[in-house]
Amino acid sequence: MDIEQRQAELIDHFVKQASTQKGSALGSVIVEATSQPSLFAFSEILAVPNVAELRGTENSAYLDVLRLFAHGTWSDYKNNAGHLPQLVPDQVLKLKQLTVLTLSETNKVLPYDRLMQELDVSNVRELEDFLINECMYAGIVRGKLDQLRRCFEVQFAAGRDLRPGQLGSMIQMLSNWLSTSDNLLVSIQEKIKWADTMNESDKKHRKDVEDRVEEVKKSLSHKADVDFRGHEEIYSEPSGLMEYEEDRSRPKRRRHPMS
């Protein structure tokens, strides 16, 4: 089962659970969802009316936790730990994974120093083990560990839930992409048309050259034929010189004196 299908099933499961629970029981559902190793999207759970009703109640901290996992990072948790429930180890791991996704949204080259600071990792070996075992093997990112440059080169990263107000910028980004794609398509079509025109021109030029070559061949053939016939006529004419020579070789007739 691929990660998208697994996530879809988990989201459906927790949405149904959240829809039937209230108060502290709903808080337990949120803790379970944010601890689930294969779940990285939480906006559908946030949209459940029962979850929204936690605001202003004694269990409102669970709503804040869910928002943290939908949009926040490990640094956000540390800065607000005094107002949030203590996270269990699985939640800590999950939030650090989500932090890598957030950093990968805008940076395709992540320096080790920054990653260690954002994830509270003390050394490179621990960082690389985390990126390999908890991120790449989990299928949420793909990339290359560059030990020489001390950075992680991101090739792919799963998307996180859209933050409030981010939808407008996402729409604008997609509109810009669509406009660029349209312009590129027009450019490609113009190049195809130009190539077709050049191809037709090349075919016409080649045909003209072939016709000229054929004309030259015919002209040379005709000239050779005329020259050959001329020589044939010259050598076939009767030779008066030979007849004259034959006459000279005959014995002369002796004249008899007249009596």
Across the chain, which has 259 residues, the per-10-residue mean pLDDT values are 82 96 94 95 95 94 96 96 94 98 94 97 96 96 96 95 69 76 87 87 85 83 70 56 50 54
Q: How far apart are CA 17 and CA 44, in angstroms?
A: 12
Adjacency order of strands within the sheet including 151-157: 109-111, 151-157, 141-146
pLDDT for the residue numbered 249: 53
Q: What is the pLDDT of residue 259?
A: 46
pLDDT of residue 54: 95
Tokens, residue 183: 């312009």
- Kindly report the backbone phi and psi dihedral angles of residue 90, in degrees, each rounded to the nearest multiple of 5, phi listed first: -65, -35
95 CB-near residues (< 8 Å, 6+ apart): 68, 69, 72, 73, 74, 77, 87
| Number of C-beta neighbours around residue 69 at 10 A | 25
pTM, two decimals, is: 0.67
pLDDT at site 232 = 61
Q: How far apart are CA 130 and CA 31, in angstroms?
A: 22
3-state helix, strand, coil in the chain (%, to 5): 70, 5, 25
**pLDDT at position 205, please?**
85
First to last CA, the chain: 148
pLDDT at position 59: 93
Least Cα distance to 17 among 9, 28, 29 occurs for 29
For 73-103, give the DSSP string. Answer: -HHHHHHTGGGSPPPPHHHHHHHHHHHHHHH
C-alpha 175: how far from chain center? 19
Q: So what's the pLDDT on residue 123? A: 95
| Crossing angle of the two packed helices 60-71 and 23-35, in degrees rounded to 10 | 20
Q: How far apart, in whole angstroms, are the C-alpha atoms of residue 61 and residue 64?
A: 5
- Within 10 angstroms of residue 131's Cβ, the number of other Cβ atoms is 22
